[in-house]
Structure 1
Amino acid sequence: MLKDSTMEQAANHLGDLLSLRGQTMVTAESCTGGWIVKALTDRPGSSDYVLGGLVTYSNGMKRELLHVSAENLEQHGAVSEPVVRQMVAGAVKATGADFAIATSGVAGPGGGSEGKPVGTVWFAWGAPTSGIVAHRCHFDGDRDAVRRQSVVYALQGLTDYVQTL
């Protein structure tokens, strides 16, 4: 199982980078249930770069808070590239943050399908003005392990993204 220190290191690395650049971020989380923003805000002073976190677990909340289209949810499902891209765009628009992280996945133990087995997670990072990058991953393990791996991957993904700008 992934250690909390790995999560803490990933959160601190992203926090240092955003602080240095004077930039802010927000999360739009589904399967991670707020764990990304929790990892970031465990650090004192994180309010300098974390504007907040939106946990949009239901499709209704994705539509209402993040303006994810009903068409994308119906056609592709919540665990999809178009949805996480819209989650990033909606979170940035709602908060004015420089960047957002979005996650949507199947953490298990149930809910998987042939096309989206348990452990499948879609991620997106960025902002409409600088471009949005999306990735799909598959993680092994139980619900906790999938979520922990997702948090670290999301934090490292935004860190890598910001470093390329």
Structure 2
Amino acid sequence: MKRFLVLVGMLLCVLMINAQYVEKKHQFGIELGVGGNGMTAVDFGLRWQTNFHPNVSWDVLTVKAVGCPEELGSTITPQVMTGIHLTSPEFAGMSAYVIARCGYGYWVEGESGDVCFEVGAGINLTKHVYIGYVFNHQSGDGDSYDYKYVDYTANYHAARIGFLF
């Protein structure tokens, strides 16, 4: 009986280790988005992802910039975020994903920054390419360049394409 319990324990340990196996522990990604809310806006981001499980990842660090191409100098908003990335099991070589991130964003022209967050969903077309929708919210308050108090909120809806390495 004792040998049987040791054998079962060893089998469970091997199964748990195998369940945690991921092809790549760390991945880097590039994201490009186009959308807006009244004005056309674009975003460009770089992210570092750590995989805990084939379906659960942590976006350790996402650094991005959002802005309107017509007035890029006055609308550029860099953001730094962290969050979670959940992926469904694969079906026909593709899988769905959901993201939720939060962090800090700074509107350069208005010299104000505050909390930002984004939520999104999409489809992983391959292991390295994904497309989806994202909603990004940025708020801020502070003094502008002409010492007027600025309190603003920016909501950004976008279609996004991303590449994982």
Q: TM-score range by the shorter chain?
A: under 0.3
Which one has a larger percent helix, Structure 1 or Structure 2?
1
TM-score, scaled relative to structure 1 = 0.26
Which one has a larger percent strand, Structure 1 or Structure 2?
2
Bigger RCO (CA 8 Å, 6+ sep): 1
TM-score, scaled relative to structure 2 = 0.26
